[in-house]
Amino acid sequence: MGNPLRDRRTLAELADTGQVIEIAEKISDFERLSGIVEADLAALDPDKLPRDWRDSAITGRLSFGYLDAQKQVVMLEGEVAATVDAVCQRCLEPFRLALSVALRVLPVTTGQSATGGEDFDVWELDDATLRPADIVEEALIMAMPLSAMHETADTCREFDATAGDTPQTTKPFATLKAQIDENR
Ligand SMILES: [Zn+2]
């Protein structure tokens, strides 16, 4: 029977069978993603390192089919979600970062063009085979922010220092006024 997520199969096979894959994995099942999360967490003091970061669940669903009635264009739809441990770039504390990706992909082989799927992203493959797990991993890696940060002031103790929505103008002005007063 094999493992539909891990097995490499041709696009035609996946689409012909209307393959649907339920995803229930862990971060540790994905080597590249684990590497990225691990490198990020390496900035932490060892005592702050979340102990179970490798066990974070990755869930979702992929389904394959054809975009067109003529069965020329393979499509892949689905969603992938994970909550990973990351380091906030403002306060340098670990936090749980929720990632969620909706996938609408036309996987094509290099050089092939895919038309008629304006709502879809075209992903070029080296050949006409695919490991669904690679798509899941790629989607999550692309969803990772360049610099992960707490999203609210409630959770981040450095939030005000760098947030653009606080009235920053008050401080320089106050400083300037103090300087003027000093010079009198
Ligand atoms: Zn923070």
Question: Each residue of 61-117: pLDDT tens digit?
Answer: 999 999 999 998 999 999 999 999 999 999 999 999 999 999 999 999 877 777 667
What HEC string does the chain produce?
A: CCCCCCCCEEHHHHHHCCCEEEEEEEHHHCHHHHHHHHHHHCCCCHHHCCCCHHHCEEEEEEEEEECCCCCCCEEEEEEEEEEEEEECCCCCCEEEEEEEEEEEEEEEECCCCCCCCCCCEEEEECCCEECHHHHHHHHHHHHCCCCCCCCCCCCCCCHHHHCCCCCCCHHHHHHHHHHHHHHC
Answer yes or no: is 172 within a domain: yes
Q: Is the pLDDT of residue 166 over 50?
A: no
Answer yes or no: is 4 within a domain: no
pLDDT tier, 169 (very low <50, low <70, confident <90, very high otherwise): very low
Answer yes or no: is 99 within a domain: yes
155 Cα–ligand 1 center, Å? 7
18 Cα–ligand 1 center, Å? 43
Answer yes or no: is 133 within a domain: yes
pLDDT tier, 168 (very low <50, low <70, confident <90, very high otherwise): very low
Average pLDDT, the chain: 87
CA distance 7 to 133: 8
What would the mean pLDDT of 120-130 be, rounded to a whole number? 90
Q: Is the pLDDT of residue 152 over 60?
A: yes
Answer yes or no: is 3 within a domain: no
Nearest in space to 60 (alpha carbons), one of 88, 20, 31: 20
What would the mean pLDDT of 26-52 be, rounded to a whole number? 95
Domain that holds residue 71: 9-183
44 Cα–ligand 1 center, Å? 13
Answer yes or no: is 2 within a domain: no
Prediction pTM value: 0.81
- How many domains does the chain fold into? 1
Answer yes or no: is 150 within a domain: yes
Answer yes or no: is 23 within a domain: yes
148 Cα–ligand 1 center, Å? 9
81 Cα–ligand 1 center, Å? 22
Q: Is the pLDDT of residue 170 over 60?
A: no
What would the mean pLDDT of 47-58 be, rounded to a whole number? 95
